[in-house]
Amino acid sequence: MNGTAGAQAAHPPEGEVAALTRWQWVGGLLLRGYLVAQRAARALVRGVHTRWRRSLQLRVVTSTLVISALVTAVLGFFLMQQVRTGLLDAKESAALSDHHAGLTYALNVMQDSDQSDRDRQLDQITDDLGARSGATGLYEVVILPTVGGLTGRASGDVSEASVPVQLREQVQNSTDLERQYYRYTEIVRGHSREPGLAVGAQLSSAFELYYLFPLDHEQEMLDLVQQTLFLVASALIILLAAIAYVVTRQVVIPVRQAASSAERLSSGDLSERMRVRGEDDLARLAVSFNDMAGSLQEKIHELEELSKVQRQFVSDVSHELRTPLTTIRMAGDLLYDDRDDLDPTMRRSVELLQSQLERFEELLADLLEISRHDAGAATLAVESVDIRDAVMRAVGDAEQIAERRGIKVVLRLPAEPCVAEFDVRRINRILRNLVVNAIEHSEGKDVIVTAAGDRDAVAVAVRDFGVGLKEGEEHLCFDRFWRADPARARTTGGTGLGLSIAREDALLHGGWLQAWGMPAKGAQFRLSLPRKAGAELRGSPLPLAPPEMAIGRVRPAYPAAATVERAPGWSAALGEDA
C-alpha cells in the first residue's frame, strides 16, 4: 500500500503532466514575447536618442512643442479659473437676490396670516415661491423645521437631503433672522444628482427657508469654454511647431549643406564650393567658406608642387651622389684593406672613414626608398613566408650589435608555422630596424621578440626595458629624422629614417606598425600584417601594450613558447627563454 502511494507521488498522473507541460510552453512563449518586446523597446529608445542627438531641427521643434504646451496649459488653467470664478460670482449674487426676495415674501405671509394654520402657510409659501422660479426651474424651494416634531416642505421632486448639514448649522446658529448663508452642494432628485448652490436663512424660530439653484447651465458654459480653449490651444501648439519647423529648416538646410561641403572638402575634393543665395548671414557664411576653400586649394597646390620639387631634388641628389660615392667607396676600401701597414693615427682615420662611408650609403639608400614611397612607386614582391623565419633572420642580422652590447635577445615564437603573404625584403628590413632600435635603447637589459598569428593576421612585437617613450612620442617616433633624446650618444649611427620607412613598408602591406612606451618602463613596437595580401586588417594577434603593464608585474610572464632553432652564427648573446 505504501509502495503504491510512493509510486504515485513520484510519478504524477498523465493529466497533471500534460497540464504542467502546457503551462511551461505558455510560460516560455510569454517569456520570449517579453524579451522580444524589451529588445524592440530598447532599439526604439536608442533610435530616438540617436535621432535626438543628431537632429538640431528635431530638438528645436520638440522644445517648441513642449514649451508652448506648458505655456498654453498654464494660461488655460488661469483663464478657466477666471471664467469659473466670474460665473460663480454672478450666480451667487443672483441667488442671494432671489432668496432675499423670497424670504421677504415668506416673512410677510407668515406675519399677515393666522398663526394657527401653520401647515397651510407653509404650503402657500412653497407653492408661491416655487411658481416664481418659472417653467425652467431656476431654483427649488425647501422649508425645513428647526425643532423636532414638525414637517418640512419642498417644491418639485427635490429631496431635503440636498441641503448640506454645514449650511443648516450656520443658519440655525445665526442670531440674525435675515442673515443669508450659502454653500455649494448636490441637488438630489430621486436617484440623480447634479451640482447646485444652496442659499438659506431663518424663516422663523421654527423653520428655515432654503433655495437650491442648479448649476447645470454654468457647467455647460464651463465645458464649452474648456473645449474651445483646448481646441484653440492644440491648434496654436501645432501652428507654433510648424512655424518652428519652417524657421529652423531655413537655418538647418544651409548648415547641413555646409557640413556636406566640408566633408567633401576634407575627403580631398578641393573644387567643392557652397551655393551662395541672398545677402544674409548664411550667404556670408557660404562666401567665407568658398574663400577658405579657394585659399586652401591654392595652398595645397603650392605645397604639392613644393613637395614634388623636394622629392625630385632628393631623388636627383641621391642618384647623383652615388657616382662619387662609389669612387670614394673604392678608394676607402683600398685604404681599409691596407690599414695594417699604416701608422696608428692613419689607421684610426681609415677606420672612421670606412664607418662613415657605410653610414653615408645607408642614408642614400633610405633617401631613395623614401623618394619611392613619396612618389607612389614602391611595389611589393609578395610570397608566402613563415613569419618565424623572418624574425630569426632579423635577430641574426643584429647578432653582432647585441653581442657587443652584452644583451640577450629572447625569442617567443609559436610552435606552429605562421605563414603570411608579404615582401620578404621589406618585412626583414622592418624587423631588423625594430630589433636594432630595441638593442640600442635597452640600456643593457634583455630584448624580447614575440610572434603570434590567428586566422586573419600575424604579428611581431619587439619589447625593450630601456628609457621608454614619453606621452605622445609613440606617434612622433615615426616622423622622419626624429630622435627621442638628441643629446643621447648613439653607437649604431642610424640615419633617422628607419622607423619612417618601416611604417611606410607596413602601410604598403595593408598592415600596422604601432608603438607603446612609458618613461623608465621601456617600449614595445608591434608589426601586424594580414595573412592574405590585399586583405583588410581588422585586428592583431598581439596586444600593443605589454601584458605585464596590465597586471602590474615588472617583467612579462609569457606563455611557454616552442623551442626554436638558432640561426647560424648566433652567439651566447642571443638566447631563448625556455
Percent of residues, the chain, with pLDDT higher than 70: 84
Structural domain tally of the chain? 3
What is the structure's pLDDT at 560? 35
Q: What does the chain come to in residues?
A: 578
Among 241, 272, 303, residue at a domain's last position: 272
For 302-354, the DSSP string reads HHHHHHHHHHHHHHHHHHHHHHHHHHHHHHHHHHHHTGGGS-HHHHHHHHHHH
| Same domain as 263, residue 303 | no
Among 327, 359, 378, residue at a domain's last position: 378
| Same domain as 278, residue 266 | no
Give which of 382, 517, 553 is closest to 442, Cα–Cα. 517
Residue 138 in grid coordinates: 431656476
**354: CATH:** 1.10.287
Asked if residue 516 lies in contact with residue 523, where contact means CB atoms within 8 angstroms, the answer is yes
| Same domain as 101, residue 141 | yes
261-296 pLDDT, tens digit per residue, is 888 887 878 788 888 877 777 788 888 888 888 888
Q: Is residue 278 part of a domain?
A: yes
Sheet containing 192-202, strands listed edge to edge, beginning at the edge strand earlier in sequence:
153-154, 140-145, 207-214, 192-202, 181-189
Instruction: State how far the Cα of 205 lies from the Cα of 147, in Å rounded to an integer.
Output: 9
Of 289 and 24, more confident: 289
Instruction: State how far the Cα of 574 lies from the Cα of 438, in Å rounded to an integer.
Output: 14
Q: Which helix (H) or strand (E) holds 553?
A: none
| Same domain as 34, residue 158 | yes
525-574 pLDDT, tens digit per residue, is 999 999 998 888 988 999 998 887 765 444 443 333 333 433 333 333 33
Q: What phi and psi values does residue 484 have, to the nearest 5 degrees?
A: -65, -40
Average pLDDT, the chain: 80
Averaged over 390-407, what is the pLDDT?
88
Q: Is residue 346 part of a domain?
A: yes
| Same domain as 153, residue 48 | yes
| Same domain as 414, residue 538 | yes
| Same domain as 415, residue 281 | no
| Same domain as 539, residue 420 | yes
| Same domain as 254, residue 356 | no
Domain that holds residue 343: 273-378
| Same domain as 306, residue 262 | no
Among 255, 272, 289, residue at a domain's last position: 272
**pLDDT grade for 110, boundaries at 50, 70 and 90:** confident
Sign of CA dihedral 220, 222, 224, 227: negative
Of 88 and 378, more confident: 88
Asked if residue 541 lies in contact with residue 457, where contact means CB atoms within 8 angstroms, the answer is yes
CB atoms within 10 A of CB 293: 20
Q: Is residue 281 part of a domain?
A: yes
151-207 pLDDT, tens digit per residue, is 778 887 888 888 898 988 888 888 777 789 999 999 888 888 888 999 999 888 788
Averaged over 55-66, what is the pLDDT?
83
Does 126 have pLDDT greater than 90? no
What is the structure's pLDDT at 5? 47
Averaged over 231-238, what is the pLDDT?
90
| Same domain as 538, residue 424 | yes
Question: Which residue's entry shows cell 612618389?
Answer: 375
Instruction: State how far the Cα of 89 lies from the Cα of 511, in Å rounded to an integer.
Output: 86
Averaged over 465-491, what is the pLDDT?
72
Q: Is residue 190 part of a domain?
A: yes
Q: Is residue 95 part of a domain?
A: yes
**166: CATH:** 3.30.450.20
Q: Is residue 201 part of a domain?
A: yes
Q: Lowest-pLDDT range, 360-374, 375-389, 457-471, 506-520?
A: 360-374
β-strands 512-518, 522-530 pairing: antiparallel
**pLDDT grade for 250, boundaries at 50, 70 and 90:** confident
Asked if residue 289 lies in contact with residue 274, where contact means CB atoms within 8 angstroms, the answer is yes
Q: Which residues are CB-neighbours of 334 under 8 A, at least 6 positions away?
A: none
Asked if residue 446 lies in contact with residue 465, where contact means CB atoms within 8 angstroms, the answer is yes
84-94 pLDDT, tens digit per residue, is 999 899 989 99
Coil vs helix vs strand at 546: coil
Q: Is residue 15 part of a domain?
A: no
**486: CATH:** 3.30.565.10
Instruction: State how far the Cα of 107 lies from the Cα of 208, in Å rounded to an integer.
Output: 11
DSSP code at position 274: P
**pLDDT grade for 372, boundaries at 50, 70 and 90:** low
Does 8 have pLDDT greater than 80? no
| Same domain as 480, residue 331 | no
Q: Which helix (H) or strand (E) holds 341?
A: none
Q: Lowest-pLDDT range, 17-21, 32-36, 417-421, 458-462?
A: 17-21
As a whole number of Å, the end-to-end CA separation of the chain is 72
Averaged over 95-100, what is the pLDDT?
89
**pLDDT grade for 575, boundaries at 50, 70 and 90:** very low
Q: What is the pTM of this model?
A: 0.47
Most confident among 59-63, 472-476, 508-512 (mean pLDDT): 508-512
Of 30 and 413, more confident: 413
Does 342 have pLDDT greater than 70? yes
Q: Is residue 412 part of a domain?
A: yes
Residue 341 in grid coordinates: 701597414
Give which of 177, 183, 226, 219 is closest to 202, Cα–Cα. 177
* Residue 165 Ramachandran class (φ > 0 left, ψ -120 to 50 alpha, else beta): alpha
Give the rounded distance of the alpha carbon of 162 from its chain centre: 63
